[in-house]
Amino acid sequence: MLQRTRDGKSKTILVAGGAGFVGSHLCDALLARGDRVICVDSYLTGSTENVLPLKNHPKFRLVEKDICDLREIDEPVDQIYNLACAASPPQYQADPVHTMMTCVAGTGNLLSLAERHGASFLQASTSEVYGDPEEHPQREDYRGNVSCTGPRACYDEGKRAAEALCFDMLRAGRADVRVARIFNTYGPRMQPNDGRIVSNLLVQAISGKPLTIYGSGEQTRSFCYVTDLVAGLMALMDVDPNPNAPVNIGNPGEFTINELAEMVLAMVPTGSKIVYKPLPTDDPQRRRPDISRAKDLLKWEPKVALAEGLQQTADWFTTALGEATSRRAP
């Protein structure tokens, strides 16, 4: 029997960026709940492969479209999740102007769609809005330490501008908007070449290449498994009343990059060694979410420990890389 959403009705939900890493897991979860899903994606950093198993699902529709130009999309929807934006530093810096336009013009287009159809809107914001934080852990009322001229600005200032737009629409009563500040997330379907730390280290270990650590490796991050993140995003979209404020969604466990590399080396059978490379400009030194607000308002907290999630991700990459190699073989 079809499962129903909290208010008993099956919804029509637009997921922008739904063919990406997080977006494809969100599409899975919404369809499993019984919702109809319209996935809008330009395939900039995502791919049809991520949503291949959903292609023939009767409630799933895939639309190839850049959110910077949404003119042809104007149909009734109940909810809009905006996940469309490259998230890995090398990828969002490859075309920084497009990244900024995606954050501002693209988010603006989706907010207008939400306004026209009375849809609830969830913006995938980021811990990057805190920049290189001077307060630790980061609470939502911390205003951040961000460079507006550096190479990360297209993304972190873009996401800050998108948040400003979201809260202006909310204050004006033009749309029911929710903002999730997502901390580093990992799991199956990250692209092997995406350049983020978890995918880089696992792919390097599995293929016997040196594990690249930028800087001293003593910088920290907090890693959330993707299914935990998706549960948090859905809880934030559906919670009543609207929190009217951003909510951190992440795993408060904090690890140095050196510790993460040691975990990978202990987990993956490999002869790989660590090599140290220069630290990129404006790379934040530490990051850990204070998730009191999510616990309090959403009754949400992550369930998957890093060791467990990393093992599942390592297993997925081992299979995915093996299949890619056998496809290339004559």
Cα distances (Å, whole numbers) of residue 25 to 5, 123, 162, 196: 17, 16, 23, 18
Comparing CB distances to ligand UDP, the nearer of 18 and 284 is 284
Give the alpha-carbon dihedral of 77, 165, 73, 235, to 10 degrees: -30
Could you say whether residue 280 binds ligand UDP (CB under 6 A)? yes
Told to check if 44 binds ligand NAD by CB under 6 A, we report yes
What string of H, E and C letters represents the secondary structure of 170-230?
Answer: HHCCCCEEEEEEECCEECCCCCCCCCCHHHHHHHHHHCCCCEEEECCCCCEECCEEHHHHH
- Our finding on whether 212 is near ligand UDP (CB under 6 A) is yes
CB closer to ligand NAD out of 124 and 314: 124
Tell which positions 180-199 bind ligand UDP, by CB under 6 A.
184, 196-197
CB of 199 to ligand UDP, least distance (A): 8
Q: How far is the CB of 2 from ligand NAD (least distance, A)?
A: 27
State which residue, 108 or 217, has the beta carbon closest to ligand UDP: 217
Chain-centroid distance of CA 206 in Å reads 24
Of 81, 130, 155, 186, the catalytic one is: 155
Counting Cβ atoms within 10 Å, is residue 182 exposed (0-12), middle (13-18) or buried (19+)? Answer: buried
One character per residue 181-210, x = contact with ligand NAD (rule: CB under 6 A): -x-xx-------------------------
Q: Is 155 a catalytic residue?
A: yes
Torsions phi, psi for 268 (to 5 deg): -105, 125
The residue range among 137-145, 214-222, 238-246, 295-303 that interacts with ligand UDP, by the rule CB under 6 A, is: 214-222
User: Residue 23, interface with ligand NAD (CB under 6 A)?
Assistant: yes
* Cα dihedral 315, 284, 290, 168 in deg (nearest 10): -110
Report the nearest approach of ligand NAD to the CB of residue 17 (Å): 3
CB of residue 213 to ligand UDP, shortest distance in Å:
4
Strand-pair partners of 275: 212
Q: Estimate the crossing angle of helix 257-267 against helix 306-328, to 10 degrees.
A: 60
What CA–CA distance (Å, rounded) separates 291 from 140? 9
Site for ligand NAD in 63-82 (CB under 6 A): 66-68
From 13-21, 163-171, 265-273, 274-282, span contacting ligand NAD (CB under 6 A): 13-21
Residues with Cβ within 8 Å of residue 325, at least 6 apart in sequence: none
Among 318, 328, 326, CA closest to 204: 318
> Encoding tokens for residue 53?
């198993």
Which CB atom, from 104 or from 119, has the smaller least distance to ligand NAD?
Answer: 104
Beta pairing class for 60-64 and 36-41: parallel
Site for ligand UDP in 239-258 (CB under 6 A): 257
Q: Using the rule CB under 6 A, is 85 a contact of ligand NAD?
A: yes
Which residues are near ligand NAD by CB under 6 A?
Answer: 17, 19-23, 41-46, 66-68, 83-87, 102, 106, 124, 126, 182, 184-185
For the annotated catalytic residues, the residue numbers are 155
Which residues are near ligand UDP by CB under 6 A?
Answer: 88-89, 184, 196-197, 200, 212-214, 219, 221, 257, 280, 283
